[in-house]
Amino acid sequence: MSVETLKIDGDEYIKTAQTEEIPEGRGIAIDVDGIEIAIFNADGEFYAISNRCSHQSAPMCKAGEEKINAEHTWTKTRGRVDAEDCSVTCPWHLWKWDLESGKNEASGQRIATFDVTVEDDSVFVRI
């Protein structure tokens, strides 16, 4: 299978998803050459960040995922995307990560972020 790529100023971006595959306020996980990346939609802006929280390796893509019990009488979400301050909160212990810098202010830790560009409704990420 061939990978669709895009060249911008000499940098190669890899096609990862269509914009409609990533709902507002949610994320998806992708694997590029063994690198786990979460791509989030924050009010129509797309961001790519490591899919593994550096605290205890939670899958960041689960932030904001809704869990519903069998009777549909209980729902719960953990973590969320906040477009206003451009952050995502980890679904396990709620550490907040800046989507642009990958920084968690409280711990001083940083996780990887990746440049993103959207072209013709396709989301491209530079690894």
Per CB under 6 A, residues contacting ligand FES are 53, 55-56, 58, 90, 92-93, 95
Quote the least distance from Cβ 31 to ligand FES, whole Å. 19
Quote the least distance from Cβ 73 to ligand FES, whole Å. 28
> Which of 66, 54, 61, 62 shows the shortest CA–CA distance to 95?
54
Residue placing its CB nearer to ligand FES in the complex, 14 or 111: 111
Q: Are 41 and 23 in contact (CB under 8 A)?
A: yes
Quote the least distance from Cβ 28 to ligand FES, whole Å. 18
Residue placing its CB nearer to ligand FES in the complex, 39 or 58: 58
Residue placing its CB nearer to ligand FES in the complex, 95 or 124: 95
In angstroms and rounded to an integer, the radius of gyration of the C-alpha atoms of the chain is 15
Q: How far apart are CA 75 and CA 96, in angstroms?
A: 22
- Give the total residue count for the chain: 127
